[in-house]
Amino acid sequence: MDGIPETSQRRGDVEADSRRAKGRDRPIINHQSTMINSNGFTLIELLVVIAIIALLLAIFVPVMRTARERGQRAVCLSNLRQLTMAWIAYADEHDGRLVSGCAFGSRRYGSRWLKGWAGHAFQYPASRAALQENPDKGALWPYLQNIEVYHCPRGAGTFWASYAILSGANGELIEGTYVPVTNEVEASPAGIRVGKTVLRLTRLTDIVSPGASGRAVFVDRRNLLCDFTVDYLNPHWWLSSPPPIHHAEGVTLSMADGHAEYWRWKGRETTTMPRIPNADGIDQLVEPEPGAEWRRVQTEDGLYDLQKLQRATWGRMGYSAQWTP
């Protein structure tokens, strides 16, 4: 440019470039914004995080619930094994005679009485201390003096006994399974024998066919009501003894050889039968009609479940296996 020395022109260009560079580095907003937080989440990011947490909960909560149930089931199976070993020990010390299947009080046969296996101490105790102080803990207490073993972790109440002896193991007298007492010598009516199978067990020596691994003794019914009634002559459930379902829609029970099993019911009918608590808060099946004491199965899968329990209780069924709903 005419009249301006070359050196001054170059110096001016450098200063202009420097000012432009500084202008580019200067923020448009030169004060702290109250509207923008560079360290926070955007709404979309927050929604994504919430969705991920919900997905993880949906995956892990059922898994944790299943793991908890399996742990409680393992404890229950251990309790059943210990109770059955006490049941065997009692018989060994009483000339092979089985303890009364009725849990509470005593049951009279002729002029003789059989003491209940659990005793009134386990019937709705107010506290652990009250249970511990009550001397009426039943005939099996000398063989198993551990309060926790009488109660399933998934059972009702805190210290109530939640196990019951099935009617086929010297329990409730069920039509077609026993010989009426004709004298006052026998403490309990003997079971009818069909071939090698004794229906109602009163002695260890009665267990022949099926063997001890196939005859059920204790069942976890969640809340104790004397014994667990299973019919022999008919394909129905007693209203007072609905199929237990609190172990993942299945049942835990023990066999006469001392081992315990978990059965998951096959039939939807078995797990969805309508129930209602009685005056004591114990579940029972809803009457299909006024005055009824039992509920007949309606489906093949439901029949399968019932017959499996009937065979384990009595060694066989008292009606044709060809019967269909």
Ordered per-residue pLDDT tens for the chain, 325 residues? 455 555 555 555 555 555 555 555 555 445 554 555 556 678 887 888 888 888 887 776 776 767 788 899 999 999 999 999 999 999 999 999 999 998 886 665 555 567 889 988 888 888 888 999 999 999 999 999 999 999 999 887 666 789 999 999 999 899 999 998 766 555 678 999 999 999 999 999 999 999 999 999 999 988 776 789 999 999 999 999 999 998 999 999 999 999 999 999 999 999 999 998 877 677 889 988 888 888 999 999 999 999 999 999 999 999 998 888 8
Task: Answer yes or no: pTM beyond 0.85.
Answer: no
| pLDDT on residue 256 | 98
* Per-residue confidence (pLDDT) for residue 54, from 0 to 100: 83
Q: Domain coordinates of the chain in residue numbers?
A: 64-314
Q: Are the C-beta atoms of residues 103 and 161 closer than 8 Å to each other?
A: yes
- What's the pLDDT score for residue 82? 98
Q: Rounded to an integer, what distance in angstroms lies between the CA atom of residue 114 and that of residue 130?
A: 24
The whole-angstrom separation of Cα 236 and Cα 298 is 9
Res 16: pLDDT: 55
* CA 161 centroid distance within chain: 14
Cα 120 from Cα 136, distance rounded (Å): 6
Q: Which helix (H) or strand (E) holds 188?
A: none
What is the CA angle 163-284-75, rounded to 5? Answer: 25
For residue 110, the model assigns a pLDDT of 53
Q: What is the pLDDT of residue 45?
A: 79
